[in-house]
Amino acid sequence: MTHTVGYLQHRRRALPNWTADAPEGVDVMAVPETELADLPTGAISALLVGMHVDQCLFAANRAWTRGFLAAGGTVIMNGLLAYPFLDGLARFQPLPRRSREALEVRIVEPVHPILRGVSAHDLSYRKGVAGFYGRGQVPPLPGARVISTLDHGTVPLDWEWPAPGGGRLLMHPGNDLWMYAGGPTSAARMAHQMLAWAARLPGFGEDAA
């Protein structure tokens, strides 16, 4: 069985190279952001939303997103949220302090399937610089599972929320999770594992955390 994951595009162009390394059984399909509202919710099993999409337009399509989640779909949202697209979501809140230690990522146990085998150090530092992965939070929705934190474990960073109807929202308020794809560190694993989790492949479901 093949699972189709949609990649929301902010302009028409070829899919990024890292999507060619999708796990067996997963196809990645380009979804122009201007055509999202016309896409049947059953056409894809998950939607990847990058940090460069038009957030205002995405929020305007909130009826589609609610219906997609209610139908069991998965949304992976990246970026500094300025236009909340679901009831209860808040805007991005930067860290009140930006010390190197505050920007260090901690991975919460048990490890989420997307972060399996990924070093917290490799998330915290890129070419020796801290803060690429995340510099603040979008406060988790009630019932969300926190996956990673900042500021000595006091500020939630990544989180997963189970939507009514069986869908899932993964919130990552930072640079795109796939920015590490093809890199030399353990963080390169995330893109492949993210697609497997998004498609609910065996071994990457909620029971595999």
**Token digits for 61?**
């399509």
Mean pLDDT across 70-88 = 98
106: DSSP letter = E
**pLDDT at residue 98, rounded to an integer:** 78
Domains of the chain by residue range: 3-208
- CB neighbours of 166 closer than 8 A, spacing ≥ 6? 71, 72
pTM (2 d.p.): 0.95
- Fold of the domain spanning 3-208: Rossmann fold (3.40.50)
Mean pLDDT across 17-28 = 96
Mean pLDDT across 68-80 = 98
**pLDDT at residue 90, rounded to an integer:** 98
**pLDDT at residue 207, rounded to an integer:** 45
Among candidates 45, 33, 37, 83, which has minimal Cα distance to 64? 37
Q: pLDDT digit string (tens) for 102-129?
A: 999 999 999 999 999 999 999 999 988 9
